[in-house]
């Protein structure tokens, strides 16, 4: 099962660094062997790094309040970063609470039962990251081509 899923998750390589991709793969492998808590740990780490990635971008903003961020719980951190995160992550920020409960309080069977839904949530977040990256690339290409046309036609840019 993990081998089949490996092909499925390859599409996330552009939006996951090597460590996150490896951990997503490990999570799937553990879940396929009935290791629910361990699979939750890897998904939680990916979730946390997605939030941290957004945090690093947000710190460059003039209005950013690092002290408030540092003293906040994850739910509030996600709210503070809502403009930097995929919409599904913001809407379903309670996913982190489920992952944390899985790591700290749930048993193997419960985590294994919930794993497919939690994994689907992480994949939806990654799907949105992929789409945002695709849109950004397309906009940059269009802007460059429009600027080139302006230059060729020597028309003023608005």
2 vs 145, more confident: 145
Residues spanned by the domain of 30: 2-127
Report yes or no: 37 and 102 within 8 Å, Cβ to Cβ. Answer: yes
Residue 74 resides in a domain: yes
Which pLDDT band, with edges at 50, 70 and 90, does 155 fall under? Answer: confident
152 belongs to a structural domain: no
Q: Is residue 35 part of a domain?
A: yes
Give tens-digit pLDDT for 105-115: 999 999 999 99
In a domain, 110, yes or no: yes
pLDDT score recorded for residue 77: 97
In a domain, 151, yes or no: no
Domain assignment of residue 24, yes or no: yes
Residues 146, 122: Cα–Cα separation, whole Å: 36
Q: What is the pTM of this model?
A: 0.85
Residue 154 lies in a domain: no
In the chain, the number of structural domains is: 1
Listed residue (26, 21, 28) closest to 5, CA to CA = 28
Distance CA 90, CA 71 (A): 19
Encode pLDDT of 116-127 as tens digits: 999 999 999 999
Tell me, yes or no, whether 73 lies in a domain: yes
| pLDDT tens readout for residues 51-69 | 999 999 999 988 899 999 9
Supply the mean pLDDT for the chain: 92
């Amino acid at each position: 099962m993990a081998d089949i899923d490996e092909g499925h998750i390859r599409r996330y390589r552009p939006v996951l660094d090597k460590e996150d991709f490896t951990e997503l793969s490990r999570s799937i492998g553990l879940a396929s062997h009935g290791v629910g808590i361990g699979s939750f740990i890897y998904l939680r780490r990916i979730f946390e790094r997605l939030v941290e990635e957004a945090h690093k971008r947000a710190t460059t903003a003039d209005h950013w309040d690092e002290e408030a961020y540092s003293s906040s719980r994850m739910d509030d951190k996600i709210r503070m970063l809502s403009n930097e995160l995929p919409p599904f992550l913001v809407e379903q920020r309670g996913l982190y609470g489920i992952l944390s409960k899985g790591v700290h309080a749930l048993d193997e069977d419960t985590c294994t039962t919930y794993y497919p839904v939690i994994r689907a949530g992480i994949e939806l977040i990654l799907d949105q990251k992929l789409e945002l990256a695709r849109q950004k690339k397309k906009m940059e290409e269009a802007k460059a081509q429009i600027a080139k046309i302006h230059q060729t036609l020597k028309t003023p840019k608005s």
